[in-house]
Amino acid sequence: MVGLGEREVFSNMVEMVVAGVETTLEGTGYVVVLREKEGHARFPIAVGFAEARAIKTALRGDPWPQPHELILNLLRSFGAVLTQVEIRTLAGGVCHARLCIYWKGRWIEVTCRPSDGIALALRSGCPILVAEDVLAKAGWVLSCIGSSRPAPPVDDESLAIFRDFVNSLNLDNHGGGSR
């Protein structure tokens, strides 16, 4: 979905950085862990193998061309700038993201998978923003000291998919870095 014209500004967005890409204990899945840039919140996003690889190569600064690099080169060739990636909604355990692009004095918003948005943000250097209500539903806080964001309620069954995924993380093998 593409929208042109005036850009709707969301003031309830939290800037996040990539804390790493992890595998589940079973080794059958991957999760990108975002962490709050100026706080303690963490936000896991389940991704496939190809998406995990694209994000890991961006974290390492791998010079080998990737499809996401092609997208950024196309944007640059048209004089467009990826200004930020926003993860705005969470429905049915699935996050929905948008690329915010500025081109010839106009805003263009393109819907995308969060994993693609993250890979593009890492390569372009633009910020990754997550809506506070999404973070409140599916994120967690490592330490409540110095954080104004409470941990999500433990008994909320709509969060079971995230709880199961977090519990399956292999935290002994940190597979990423920080942006």
Average pLDDT over residues 126-151: 72
Residue 175 belongs to some domain of the structure? no
Structural domain boundaries, residue 72: 2-167
Distance CA 107, CA 130 (A): 19
> How many domains are contained in the chain?
1
From 57, 111, 104, select the one nearest 86 (Cα to Cα): 111
Q: Per-residue pLDDT tens for 145-160?
A: 444 455 445 555 656 6
Q: Per-residue pLDDT tens for 65-83?
A: 788 989 999 999 999 999 9
Q: Per-residue pLDDT tens for 74-124?
A: 999 999 999 999 999 998 888 999 999 999 999 999 999 999 999 999 999
pTM: 0.75
Tokens 């990737």 -> residue: 66
Structure tokens at 143: 């330490």
pLDDT of residue 24: 76
Residue 23 belongs to some domain of the structure? yes
CATH of residue 142: 3.10.690.10
Q: Taking the CA atoms of 138, 143, 146 and 150 in sequence, report the sign of the dihedral they define.
A: positive
Q: Per-residue pLDDT tens for 41-56?
A: 899 998 999 999 999 9
Structure tokens at 135: 């973070």
Cβ(31)–Cβ(46) under 8 Å? Answer: yes
Residue 174 belongs to some domain of the structure? no
Cβ(162)–Cβ(44) under 8 Å? Answer: yes
Residue 173 belongs to some domain of the structure? no
Cβ(19)–Cβ(33) under 8 Å? Answer: yes
